[in-house]
Amino acid sequence: MTTATTNGTNGTTGPGPVPLVACHECDLLQRESAVPPDGTLRCCRCHAELYRAHPNSTDRALAFTLTCVVLFFISNLYPIVGLAVNGDLVETTLLGAVRVLYRDGMWPIAGLVLATTFLMPLMQMTAMAYLLVPLQLNRRPYHADFVFRLMHLAQPWGMTEVLILGMLVALVKLAHIASVVPGVALWSFGALMLLLAAAGSAFDPRALWQRIGSFDDVASNAEAAAAASAHTALRCGMLSCHSCGLLVKSTAHVHGAACPRCGAHLHARKPGSIARTWAFLIAAIVMYIPANVLPVMNTSSLFGSEKDTILSGVVYLWTSGSWPLAVVVFIASIAVPMLKILALMYLAISTQRRSVMLVQERTRIYRLVELVGRWSMLDIYVITILVALVQFNALATIQAGPAAVAFGSVVVLTMFAAMSFDPRLIWDATEDHHV
């Protein structure tokens, strides 16, 4: 791992502009340096990852992506799992499970599952293939800027790895009801999860744009000289694109500017960051109460009906002997949403008060919040599989309860709150403090 050692001071090493990079989390302006293969360049102030060196990135990413496309279609054409009771076999595909949710009137959950497990992963894979295949043929991708932005938009919302864990939890619960018959899609989804992670890791946006073509909108020597007396990109009149990482000169109309390379909107700081973070947080807090109080599943059988909350589901896993899964579900579905709300409240309050205390620790909290937030979707996927499979009419049926909609809202709202928060505001207070 390589760490950037410059501290906002940049000099020229020859003709042409000095290669500069601005940290997306603290806005520190630093000089790019050579990174060994598979090495990482990190910010010398907040230790955020600036970029990685991926050898043969386009070839490796293309190979992984094309394999993912094949596995994706197999995963959605074949059944995930089957349930055998008294000679009857009920099987479901992912899209079939979404259709059952929609038929039962749970269209918000059906839409959320469809988007996070089908549409967004498909968009990500399609966009990567669209960008990489022409490069392999030594051609420039048509409208590469628009497709790149679509890929960047889809990345945080594709949750195949969470779906796999949700399937495992559902299988444990189903094993106590009837004989479970694993389907082809269960194994292909597992392989897809690994290869999607490999494709995302191998894909290097820097190498992509170098292959597509260079741009002259980077910092000039004049800006590089100005950077010698300024720590952050903002203080020396530069903006960093959060989609492709290009560093450009600031304009008079900052909020109306667009990246000359990928076309993404440029802004010195996210507009209304704290206000929008609070709006999403308050909405998430309101929805968190019914998500944990109301039933998340309604089970009907010959012995009557039973309503399960998220906590009762954890208790069921624990008492049935599956305590590792009980711990995982408790952490992902109860602890993580609550801790994420508390962490974002702490970040919003401390940033609003312009606190200069524990800035590195607060930046690490922000990274952790972004990392774990998606795993709260676990219970939604468990419900999806159970609802689709346990449909034996008079014998037993499972339907999603109102808490499922509330809980899905909590997950989405907290993710939007984390996306709205601008971690550079944490470090802006220290800049003002030193002025």
Q: Are 319 and 296 in contact (CB under 8 A)?
A: no
pLDDT for 1 beyond 50: no
What is the per-residue pLDDT across 67-123, written as a single tens digit (0 to 9) for each? 999 999 999 999 998 887 776 777 889 999 999 889 888 899 999 999 999 999 999
Q: At 51, list the tokens.
A: 């970029």
Give yes or no for a contact between 407 and 400, defined as CB atoms under 8 angstroms apart: no
Distance in angstroms (rounded) separating the CA atoms of residues 377 and 424: 28
287 exposure class (CB count in 10 Å sphere: 0-12, 13-18, 19+): buried
- Please tell me the distance from the alpha carbon of residue 253 to that of residue 237, in angstroms, as a whole number: 12
Tens-digit pLDDT profile for residues 324-371: 778 888 888 888 889 999 999 999 999 999 888 888 899 999 989 988
Pick the CATH number of 269-435 from 1.10.3470, 1.20.140, 3.30.43, 2.60.40: 1.20.140
Domain ranges of the chain: 2-53+217-249, 57-215+261-266, 269-435
**pLDDT tens, position by position, 378-397:** 888 988 888 888 766 555 67
SS3 248: strand
Contact 227, 31 (CB under 8 A): no
More confident residue, 132 or 224: 132
**In angstroms, what CA-CA distances link 71 with 65, 116, 148?**
10, 17, 22
pLDDT for 16 equals: 46
Do residues 148 and 124 touch, judged by C-beta distance below 8 A?
no
